Structure 1
């Protein structure tokens, strides 16, 4: 087994307290946003190999998944992740152009798609996927401003997924002024003050505008579902799902990719054309993940993708021999609470406190955890891994609705 030293990411939306407290580090001046665990070339974990320090990539080879600790005090960017075909084409094109991998102008950092799952460590709020057409119309009908009325007219004329994408495309490509956005926010605030809201759409726009008052992403947020995960709950986001995490702390497990197409609510480079192109491919699965029990102490969150699953175990003295973790050839285990020992089949033991992590490979065999605490294991599911039930957050749009929206491309622009 290999104890991990993991890189951190300091982004402006991060938290000055949450991650430092979680990993036992003194809080600094910069907000810490993410801890990366895995082998991605932009931020591989480090391990001690004999008499030298090396990357986990050197020690174990490339992992098909990434594991993150994420903490947000303010909204993240409005974004989507590309599917496999888009990722490969985009990566190859930027490689051919000679764009450095770490350049801010680089969009495709690798040739991989990026489905992901978020597991809440605290109450976690996020915007994920489009609301149904009828719900968006109820939201827009309350926005009695020229922009609000115009958007409602467009969606009435072209309902369904394709029409919603065209609505977003219009907002991203037209010159929507700061004054128009402020009028929408003022109307949302007035409705909230009157106790009127549609599934938290208005209050969300007001909250986001506190951080990004002139960003058109505030208006786009009105079209998105607001989802709150309580600690211990998980949601799966397939590729092509538009989303923007709002606040809270979670574990993220995903395919080993850092490809992000952004269109607002950020100081990072934007790619609205790429985002719309990605949305035009159609949404994949967006769902809560119901865990399957493994033994007496473990919940397995498996969204039935080939790259990753997550097992969360509540370890206690009730199991003197230790809590058996699900089998995996390669796994990363992080302690999320308490103090435990991770024990391999050969008897090797590593002590972990909150925030500590370890990699176990095929030679480590069966892994048990002894002590009182909680651990989370990210791993590649085996054929025996039982997929959890996925409860869709929005009904899938039909291919007919997708085609209708594509045929009408450009018809809503004014």
Structure 2
């Protein structure tokens, strides 16, 4: 087992306090947005070797997953992660064009797709996936401005997922008067003050506008589902799913990629055409991940992707021999609370406090955690791993309702 030293990212949306406190440090003036744990070339973890500091990939090879601690004080960029085919093509094109890997204008940092999962450490708010057409229309019809009504007319004429994508394309590619955005926000604020909202769409727009008042992402947010995760809950974001985290602290586990196509709510380079292309290939599905139990003390969040799963274990004196972690050839374990010891199959022991991270490889065999606290393990699931159930925000229609919808009568038949 190897203790990890991990890279941090000081993005402007990060928190000056949350991650430092989590790591047992004093808050500073610089926002800390992310801690990266893994072997990604843009920020590999390191270990202390016998005579030098080594990159984790020198010991572990290239891990297929990346593990992060994320803390947001304000909204992240409106973004989508590409499919594997898009990532491979985009990376090859930028390599051929000679765009430096560290260039701020570069989109594809590697040739990999990036499905990911967020596990809430605090109350965590995010926007993920599109609302149903009818719900977007209810949102827009409640906003009494010419701009909002023109968007509603467009969507009413071309409903469904393709129509929503075309609406987003219009917003991203056609010039929009900042005054139109301001008038929409003002109307949303008035509605919220009157106690009127449609599944938190209006309050979300006003909150985002406090940070990005003239950004078209404020308008696009009206079409997105707002999801609040409580500590211990998780959500899966597949490739092609539009999203924007709003605030809170979470663990993220993902395929080992840093490919992000952005279209708003950021000072970084935008790729609206790439984002729309990605949406055409993606699904507007949002899913929580329902955990499966492993033993008495562990919840396994496995969204049925080949690269990663997450196991969260609470250990206590009730298990004096320790809590057995799910089997994995390679794993990264981070302590999220308390003080614990990891014990491998050879009896090697390593103490961890909150924020400490460890890599355990094939030679470590079974790993147990002893003490009173909590650890989270990111790993590549095996064939025996039970995939967690994905739960849609919108309940599935019954067959009778589907037949009515196919006839154009709507769910109620009216």
User: What is the TM-score with the length of structure 2 in the denominator?
Assistant: 0.95
CA shift, 1:26, in A, is 2.2
Q: Does 1:17 align with 2:17?
A: yes
Q: Does 1:175 align with 2:171?
A: no
Separation in 2, partners of 1:40, 1:231: 27
Separation in 2, partners of 1:87, 1:197: 38
Summarize the alignment of residues 32-181 of structure 1 with structure 2, pairs less than 5 Å apart.
32-181=32-181
**Unaligned ranges ≥5, structure 2:** 398-414
Provide Cα deviations, 1:249-277, integer angstroms capped at 9, x if missing partner: 00000000000000000011100000001
Equivalence for 1:402: none
CA shift, 1:154, in A, is 0.1
Provide Cα deviations, 1:46-73, integer angstroms capped at 9, x if missing partner: 0112211111011110000000000000
Provide Cα deviations, 1:3-40, integer angstroms capped at 9, x if missing partner: 00000000111001000000112222111000000000
Is the partner of 2:166 in helix, strand or coil?
helix
- Is 1:49–1:59's contact at 8 Å kept on the other side of the alignment? no
Q: Does 1:212 align with 2:216?
A: no
- Is 2:130–2:284's contact at 8 Å kept on the other side of the alignment? no
Equivalence for 1:238: 238
Separation in 2, partners of 1:222, 1:395: 20
The count of residues paired between Structure 1 and Structure 2 equals 397
- Is 2:3–2:47's contact at 8 Å kept on the other side of the alignment? yes
Separation in 2, partners of 1:197, 1:331: 44
Separation in 1, partners of 2:254, 2:393: 19
Greater Cα shift, 115-124 or 386-395: 386-395
- Is 2:5–2:46's contact at 8 Å kept on the other side of the alignment? yes
- Is 2:129–2:241's contact at 8 Å kept on the other side of the alignment? yes
Is the partner of 2:171 in helix, strand or coil?
helix
Provide Cα deviations, 1:170-189, integer angstroms capped at 9, x if missing partner: 01111101101000000100
Provide Cα deviations, 1:116-173, integer angstroms capped at 9, x if missing partner: 0000000000000000000000000011111101000000000000000100100111
Separation in 2, partners of 1:286, 1:143: 25
Is the partner of 2:339 in helix, strand or coil?
strand
Separation in 2, partners of 1:396, 1:12: 39
- Is 1:291–1:389's contact at 8 Å kept on the other side of the alignment? yes
Separation in 2, partners of 1:395, 1:205: 25
Separation in 2, partners of 1:331, 1:159: 45
- Is 1:78–1:217's contact at 8 Å kept on the other side of the alignment? yes
Is the partner of 2:88 in helix, strand or coil?
helix
Provide Cα deviations, 1:355-395, integer angstroms capped at 9, x if missing partner: 00000000000000010000000000000000111102247
Equivalence for 1:8: 8
Is the partner of 2:222 in helix, strand or coil?
helix
Separation in 2, partners of 1:62, 1:213: 41
Separation in 1, partners of 2:338, 2:34: 21
Separation in 1, partners of 2:396, 2:242: 14
CA shift, 1:396, in A, is 9.1
Provide Cα deviations, 1:326-364, integer angstroms capped at 9, x if missing partner: 000000000000000001100111100000000000000
- Is 1:22–1:355's contact at 8 Å kept on the other side of the alignment? yes
Equivalence for 1:379: 379
Separation in 2, partners of 1:9, 1:150: 40
CA RMSD of aligned residues (A): 1.1
Equivalence for 1:257: 257
